[in-house]
Structure 1
Amino acid sequence: MTTTHLLYLHGFRSSPQSTKAQLMAARVRAEHPAVHWWCPQLPPSPAAAARLIDAGTADWPAARMAVVGSSLGGYYASWLAGRRGCRAVVLNPAVDPARDLAAHIGEQSAWHDPAEHFFFRADYLDELRALQSDASADPTRTLAIIAKGDELLDWREMSARYAGARLHLLDGGDHALSDFPLLIDEVLSFLQLAVDQES
């Protein structure tokens, strides 16, 4: 069944202005105008982010929706896919963000606007743990693109977490997936996006 609703979830300190989100948005607009695209600015609180995602996709048809998530957004994407049983693509996904972000408690600046600041609170770590999900019931509905050259996350840990999914391991690469322009066709093919209203 083709996808008619697509959600993109950015990573920690990132935004809908990320290179990958912008590239995805442009391709969806140009080639799949009938697809409902949503890439929200996620709040720092994981619980608030989860509520936003839940509310924004509440009326989406589970069988015809999909989610793409990068880094922390990949963690949220797996949580949502587990709840809705939808197709998911995770890009260098965070596996244990409560552990990894413990060192980032305090004031942070937004990646795409350093003048914008937010406070990452200690209790957000518990909120992250509450969103921990097992691999989705049908891992074949997940594509995980993982760079062995990721400088922030351990590719072995990511690969183990998504062992049942379709895995694309990049020999080099980086956390930002600078090679995403070369990977986007694979992502779009996996998502099976509707081409028109009748698809």
Structure 2
Amino acid sequence: MITIYIHGFGGSGNGVKATLFREYYNKIQEQFLAPSLSYVPDLAINTLEEFIERYNGRVNLIGSSLGGYYALYLANKYNLKAALINPSIYPYETLTKVLGYAPNFYDESKFQWNTKHILMLKKFEVSQPKEKNFFLLLQKGDEILDYKEALNKLPQAQLFIQERGNHSFENIQEHFKSIQEFFNSNS
């Protein structure tokens, strides 16, 4: 079994959360992968599907923000478990605010984000998620996304919700053990 971390918009496999998860999985000696994905939605999903198929579906997913949206789609498609950290539920709406040149947080470069990318995102929307496969980790202080959208989309998912916090999800490392317990459970 391998756990794949899916970063958010403008992120990378070397971001803060990806690095913390990588250290945790190295410590518990379990396989982990945090690829730096293309900002083009079709290419990002294609890359992730190749990994999932390469590991014969023996995969757990962790997705943050836009990565949560991708994880929702992939977990539903392949019947996988996924931990969604402050997930973007409607990125085709929220990311219209950044049309034009968007930041790459790894090296502070910019990439062009356009309406074709927004249309690509719509293709990956899940209308009926298999809620037992999901663990939602939400902080109400998320300044970018409304946590209630995730609650409404996945009302029967396993849930951790916290007052305050922020979009990056403060102190995520405190939840690594509960994420791993969710992955190891038979639910």
Give the TM-score normalised by the residue count of structure 2: 0.93
Counterpart for residue 91 of structure 1? 85
Tell me the distance in 2 between the aligned counterparts of 1:141 and 1:82.
8
Alignment equivalent of 1:14, drawn from 11, 14, 25: 11
Q: Deviations over 1:72-100 (max 9, x none)?
A: 00000000001100110000000100000
Counterpart for residue 2 of structure 2? 5
Residue 122 of structure 1 aligns to which amino acid in structure 2? T
Counterpart for residue 197 of structure 1? none
C-alpha root-mean-square deviation of aligned residues, in Å? 1.4
Residue 22 of structure 2 aligns to which amino acid in structure 1? A
Q: How many residues align?
A: 185
How far off is 1:127 after superposition?
Answer: 0.2
Counterpart for residue 156 of structure 1? 148
User: SS where residue 118 of structure 1 aligns?
Assistant: strand
Tell me the distance in 1 between the aligned counterparts of 2:128 and 2:70.
12
Alignment equivalent of 1:186, drawn from 174, 178, 182: 178
Structure 2 spans left out of the alignment, 5+ residues? none
Counterpart for residue 100 of structure 2? 106
Residue 126 of structure 1 aligns to which amino acid in structure 2? L
Q: Deviations over 1:94-143 (max 9, x none)?
A: 010000000111112211211x2211121101100001013433x12210
Runs ≥4 residues deviating over 4 A: none
Alignment equivalent of 2:161, drawn from 163, 166, 169: 169
Structure 1 spans left out of the alignment, 5+ residues? 194-199
Residue 170 of structure 1 aligns to which amino acid in structure 2? Q
Counterpart for residue 50 of structure 1? 45
Greater relative contact order structure (CA < 8 Å, 6+ sep): 1
Deviates more, 1:142-151 or 1:103-112: 103-112
Percent identity, aligned pairs only? 24
Tell me the distance in 1 between the aligned counterparts of 2:153 and 2:63.
15
Give the TM-score normalised by the residue count of structure 1: 0.88
Alignment equivalent of 2:115, drawn from 119, 122, 125: 122
User: SS where residue 74 of structure 1 aligns?
Assistant: helix
For the 8 Å contact 1:82–1:134, the answer to whether it is kept is: no
User: SS where residue 115 of structure 2 aligns?
Assistant: coil
Tell me the distance in 2 between the aligned counterparts of 1:135 and 1:95.
13
